[in-house]
Amino acid sequence: MSDTSFPDAPRADAQDKVRGALRYAADDARPGMAHAALAVAAVARGTVWRIDAAAARAVPGVRLVLTHEDLGGVKPPGFIMGGGYGFQSIQPLTSPQVAYRGQPIALVVADSPEAAAEGARLVRADLAAEPHQVTLDTPEADIVAQADSPLPKPMFADVTVGDAAAALADAAIRIEAEFRHPAQHQSPIEMLSTVAEWRDGHLTVQEGTQNAEAIRHGLARQLEIEPARITVLSPSAGGGFGQKNSLQAHTVLAAEAARRLERPVKLVVSRAQVFHGGSFRPASRHRIRLGADAEGRMTALVHETDSQTSRHDLFPTQYTELSSRLYGIGNFRGRERLVRNDVQTPGYMRAPYEHPAAFAVESCVDELAYRLGRDPVALRLANDAAADPVTGRPYSSRHLAECLRRGAARFGWERRSMAPGSMRAADGALVGWGVAIGAYKAATAPAVARLRLLDDGTVTLGVGGHEMGQGMRTAIAAVLQRRLGVDPGRITVEIGSTGATPQHLTAGSWGTATVVPATDEACDALLRALDALPASRTPAERLRAAGRAFLEVEVSRRAPGQPEAVIGRLATGLPAAAGPAYPEFVSFSHVAHFVEVRVEPTTCRIRVPRIVSVADCGRVVSPRTAASQLRGGVVWGIGAALREVSEVDPRHGGFLNADLAEYVLPVHADIGTIEVEFVDEPDPRLNRPGVKGLGEVAMVGVAPAIANAVHHATGKRLRSLPIRVEDLL
Amino acid sequence: MDRTPDEPSDTPGAVSRRPLMIGAALAAAPLAPPGIAAPARAQDAGDGRLRVNLTVNGEARQLSLDPRASLLDTLREGLALTGAKKGCDHGQCGACTVHLDGRRVASCLTLAVQADGRAVTTIEGVAREDDELHPMQQAFIDHDALQCGYCTPGQIMAAIALVREGRAGSAEEIREYMSGNLCRCGAYAGILAAIQDAAPKMRGA
């Protein structure tokens, strides 16, 4: 099926989305629904020594108030990176301890959202504050070398290749620089929200998530009941971007309230509270030392990082997975450290490590090009890798050079003059053209796919995956249409809800490379089963001719090299993905971004009128949604480079700009032309359809391309994001 | 508790809101004067609730409301019209955009009682079930002007209003007057193309 490109097709759920008919979790509006609201701590660290909910309980319509004094019995969920299910290990309301500003201290449940909100405002708490720290500038005692930590190895060991120190000493040219990346928040427009309901001892949870199985198994652990007594429904999430990748802290509170009230409870975490109620991209600091010979061959790279974690968990980092493998550099040394802060545990946000790492490395590579007087595209092409520098294994596919060449041609790169400040627009604006590349592991998760054909010709495919806007339903439908010749209108895709097939975490850009090959193999199995039936024109006619009402097949698929035992992890809601290093090869998606910025000379306002991005994500199964996903990743890069920062005041803790007016996301007026293109070469070594991932690589490299363009326009090297007007004044 | 992070307005050291957002918010909130008068018309039902008469998607509805209830919560929780979405509850994201007497408003910042005697149109009223799609809805599909779809009803309601306001003259104007509607998935290029496609069809209709 990988022989030819897939045709353009509309998004599978677009009709429902434009009609406002698609149901997200909080769209369950029924008579009898109770509404919940959270009260949160106003100190950065401390202890609740008295909590008074009398006023809250007296509000007409308030039915229940839960605090640490009455929650009782609920167990912690365990940390998702430590064998558990939660975005962090601690469960608010199970003790008087407050680990971070904004931590929930009470849940108020009422007949209406208005009464619940009023009640939550009236919860009075006396807190004993303790000293706290919320920045990377902390005492040494709070810095943990990841290599010496209990985090599992070799996954979280420091990466070492060759002898970077010696190669650096021998280098003709050395670039040294430190980069800073702020904390940022994923901010999907659908806020964290849950509807919980018990019927006959069975708990049903509706929540937009990337990981329904973790919610199910995590709640089972927290409530000490069998997972079989829990169903999690998440057919569609209103964006995830990593924040919804695990069991959230509010979910068990809604479930417990619903159990006590014996009615459904809806808890929509307020936007301000989402900034403290879920994970975020940790602030990080990157020290780079890059060495090259006089001809511009990069010979050594040292990448040392410090990244925020919480006091209660070690959120591991893998910044050097990108930096060690982006080019064919023979000598590399990475060192990753975690800095303990009094914050909720940080987590994954689109291209969690790769985007900050690429900002650091690709800024230095641009600087190297200027030291050499060498065109930045030519320098990158000259340093492309022939094999994976860390393992020595071949890449399953690598079309980075093709991305660079196509992008340069489409952008008109040959018209660029090298000298900073040498290009001007007709209106006097400084014009800067910048380039950068990105990579992201092509990972794969195990999956079970169940395919059913009915004698009326309709097809239902169930598989482990979550639709959060990336277009998974559309990609699955494209495969079914091609393999079985069935019209999109006769296809039902069942993903995101527990109960049928196990629902593995959808993250890390492994969604398509997980569900498309599994769907493809399910089609093989169905076609084999059909072969046993009398010949006829269509599959449905064969069924009818055989007197069969339906035909169902199930296949189980693992990533290359994964043992059978991984299916057990899949079934219990634990992360079980593999990659980028497989036994025979190493797999990455790649991208090249070409950016034009214009800097208004008096105000120094930076605009991004034009970007060209070319990606290699293997075979593109759903061209229309893939193009949107690539453009969306570019928008994220613009936001990360020029807008987004979660502001911190060391005196207060927490995040100051906890709303969508002051946490500045890119808006329509920020976005110019974004032209995207795909290499669209299948990678059949990774899987037969030849698909790799796209959602995250789309963002990687945008920020350094913008920073490099700003340098080209102004001559200024800016190493701290976001880049703001004041940096250019 | 003196202050919680749920009250960000007086946050120390807060960064300033962009003029862009303010401009968009002003453009999106032309309802104020009649809205102020509205509660006087709403009748007290005697239990602290107010009786109001709304026309929602062409249908007359009499409701007994908590005076604090937002139009958004009333539509969603009271009338089960869940097309309008809650993305911030502070008028900052635009996901809750509906039309009040034909003009776009943030329904989360509009008290339901302000809509007494007025006509509300939500995404469900743009094209009824099984009806042909509005040209703007079709254009959103054709240009894939959405991803997760959560902000989409608000984007479409804002886009339809923008064309009627005569603000679809250029790409720059569309971008400016759509900037009160955030799309975190980053479907902005598609939304722009959809509006440019649908605007002449709407004018011709």
Q: Tell me: the pLDDT tens digits for B138-195?
A: 999 999 999 999 999 999 999 999 999 999 999 999 999 999 999 999 999 999 999 9
Please check whether residues A471 and A602 belong to one and the same domain: no
Size of interface A-B (CB pairs under 8 A): 248
Judge if A432 and A473 occupy the same domain. Answer: no
Rounded CA gap, A256 and A219, in Å?
10
Taking the C-alpha atoms of residue A125 and residue B41, their distance in angstroms, rounded to an integer, is 40
Domain assignment present for residue B1? The answer is no
- Of B81, B99, B126, the one marking the end of a domain is B126
CA distance B147 to chain A (A): 4
Of A18, A471, A647, the CB nearest to B13: A647
Q: How far is B80 from chain A (nearest CA, A)?
A: 6
Q: What is the DSSP letter of A720?
A: B
Instruction: With CB atoms and an 8 Å threshold, state whether B141 touches A21.
Output: no
Q: Is B68 within a domain?
A: yes
pLDDT tens, position by position, A349-399: 999 999 999 999 999 999 999 999 999 999 999 999 999 999 999 999 999
- For B99, half-sphere exposure in the C-beta direction (CA atoms, 13 angstrom radius) is 25
Q: Which residue has the higher pLDDT, A392 or B3?
A: A392
* A177 burial via Cβ count (<10 Å: 0-12, 13-18, 19+): middle
Q: How many CB atoms lie within 10 A of CB A323?
A: 28
β-pair type (A265-268, A34-40): parallel
Q: Is residue B169 part of a domain?
A: yes
Do A393 and A493 belong together in one domain?
no
Same domain, B86 and B139: no
Give chain B's domain count.
Answer: 2
In a domain, B37, yes or no: yes
- Same domain for A270 and A287? no
Give the end of a domain, one of B103, B126, B149: B126
Closest in A17, A191, A629 to B152, CB measured: A17
Whether residues A177 and A315 share a domain: the answer is yes
- Residue B34 pLDDT level (bands cut at 50, 70, 90): very low
* Residue A207 parent element (H or E): strand A202-207
Domain of residue A512 covers 443-571
Contacts of A16 in chain B (CB under 8 A): 149
Q: Both A213 and A290 in a single domain? A: no
Residue B111 lies in a domain: yes
On whether the CB atoms of residues B69 and A112 are closer than 8 A, the answer is yes
pLDDT bucket at B205, cuts 50 / 70 / 90 = low
> What is the predicted pLDDT for the residue at B41?
60
**Looking at the domain assignment, is residue B180 inside a domain?**
yes
A34 and A111 Cβ atoms separated by less than 8 Å: yes
**Same domain, residue pair A119 and A196:** yes
Chain B residues touching A272 at Cβ < 8 A: 5-8
Question: Domain with B52 in it: what CATH number?
Answer: 3.10.20.30
Residues B154, B122, single domain; the answer is: no
pLDDT for the residue numbered B48: 86
pLDDT of B128 reads 80
* Co-location of A96 and A208 in the same domain: yes
Work out the minimum CA distance from A209 to partner chain B, whole angstroms: 12
Catalogue the E-assigned strands of A22-76.
34-40, 46-52, 62-67
CB contact under 8 A, B179 and A468: no
Residues 27-46 of B with CB under 8 A from A: none
Partner-chain residue, chosen from B123, B147, B148, that has the shortest CB–CB distance to A19: B123
Confidence of residue B45 (pLDDT cuts 50, 70, 90): low
Of chain B residues 139-168, which have a CB less than 8 A from chain A? 140-142, 144, 146-153, 156
Residues A116 and A201 in one domain: yes
In a domain, A323, yes or no: yes
E strands of A564-706, at which residues? 588-599, 606-616, 673-678
A264 lies in the same domain as A154: no
How far is the C-alpha of A506 from the C-alpha of A464, rounded, in Å?
8
CB neighbours (10 Å) of residue B164?
Answer: 16
Co-location of B32 and B72 in the same domain:
yes
Q: Measured between alpha carbons, how far is A591 from A694 in angstroms, rounded to an integer? A: 9
Would the CB atoms of B148 and A41 count as touching at under 8 Å? no
B140 and B176 in one domain?
yes
Contacts of A242 (CB under 8 A, 6+ apart): A186, A210, A279, A347, A348, A349, A350, A352, A507
CATH code assigned at A459: 3.30.365.10
Is A97 in the same domain as A121?
yes
Contact A20 B13 (CB under 8 A): no
Residue A3 falls inside a structural domain:
no
**A124, A239, A91: which is closest to A632 by C-alpha?**
A239
Residue B119 shares a structural domain with residue B153: no
Number of domains in chain A: 3
H or E element that contains A248: none
Domain residue limits at B94:
18-126
CB contact under 8 A, A669 and B20: yes
Residues in A closer than 8 angstroms to B192, CB to CB, are 668
Q: Is residue B167 part of a domain?
A: yes
Residue A567 in any domain: the answer is yes
Residue contact B14–A671, C-beta within 8 A: no
Cross-chain residue pair A658–B83, CB shorter than 8 Å: no
In the prediction, which pLDDT does A557 show?
97
Contact B123 A16 (CB under 8 A): no
* Contact at CB, B147 and A628, closer than 8 angstroms: yes
User: Is residue B30 a part of any domain in this protein?
Assistant: yes
Of B73, B140, B185, the CB nearest to A632: B185
Is any Cβ of chain A less than 8 angstroms from the Cβ of B82?
yes
In a domain, A230, yes or no: yes
Residues of chain A with pLDDT under 50: none
Q: Does B197 touch chain A if contact means CB atoms closer than 8 Å?
A: no
Q: Does residue A448 lie in a domain region?
A: yes
Q: Clarify whether residues A393 and A472 are in a common domain.
A: no
Which residues have CB under 8 Å from B50's CB, separation 6+?
A: B39, B42, B43, B44, B64, B65, B67, B113
Domain boundary among B71, B95, B126: B126
pLDDT at residue B6 is higher than 50: no
pTM reported for the whole predicted model: 0.95
